[in-house]
Structure 1
Amino acid sequence: MVPDPIQTVCTKWGSDPLSRGSYSHVRVGSSGKDYDILAENIGGRLFFAGEATTRQYPATMHGAFLSGLREAASILHASRSRANGNNDPKKCLQKNLKQCTDILINLFKEPDVAFRNISFVFNPFKATDPTTMGLLRVTIENSRKDDEFKDRQQPSDPHCQALHLYAILSRQQADQMQLGT
């Protein structure tokens, strides 16, 4: 079990003189491969996450979040590989967004709280603590009925059926949302 942090730092991204609230973009003459290059780990020991490392969702908060999940999975895979005597860093690469999506789908198979199109999962060791933080998922179903849109979808692809938005909330906030329904 990972212990609770002993300290946190809150940055003021918009007033930081080195960023001024900026985000990444691909310059003229570059390509999406540049995002992949920024996401490459170093020797299976140093990993990079952030909106600048995701080709699918660059310059977005959910891109940063998903890249964090991607790298957490890569770190877990790398540590398991080292424990099993496999030190090949190429096998630690998990840059495919589908793997991140699969992690989230599995995480929300049995949510701790669910109502309407909203579900939450919490730390199982502190699930009843009102201050514990959890992951919120809002599901927006595809409501378009026109034939042109249906023709562009892959019916076998469950990711085409709904859009999932994620946020982090406390258990107390989740309970207040449920009471407000």
Structure 2
Amino acid sequence: MGFGLNVEQRARYVFKEIIHSFTLPVSRIRNLSFHCQEHGKDWNIEYKCEKSWFSRIYKLVIRYDFSTNLDNRDRVKINLDFSKKGWKQDHGVNRQFLKNLNNNQALLDLISSLDFEKVTIEIGEKRGSMTFILIPGSFVWTLVPPMHYYIRLKKEEIRKMKSILNLLEVETTKFEGSG
């Protein structure tokens, strides 16, 4: 099927546009994934493709990794509960960190101003990460009706995501100091 290759080429083109809009140091974009390190922090951006017979949806997944002084005993996995507009603990026993996140209204307001499918935080063993699955930045192709479209990721949305990541690092640092 020749149309599948054409769809992937269009998705790659859109993906490259997204990477450049983040103004990160770009050395190499591999297929539909990108990794770079900036100031000791890792950016991993990729398109996850969900295929069906009549469509392909390329979802934008962004993972941001950073250093932390929290150790293994502080390991936590937290997901954003969109219905309750707050964080819920998925794995780990650190309730104070969860409480700190839920009390950070600036962080919650920024997150609610963006259109995410999923937001996850994992912290432990000297590393922290935050993962976003976004609706903006997605590329959709359908066979019936034959069409493709890109949900444009705006500069303001990128700025807000970077602010969210900064606030998460601040909360992590505050928690390190209280441990």
Which TM-score applies when normalising by structure 2? Answer: 0.26
Higher relative contact order (CA 8 A, sep 6+): 2
Task: Point out the structure with the larger strand share.
Answer: 2
Which TM-score applies when normalising by structure 1? Answer: 0.26
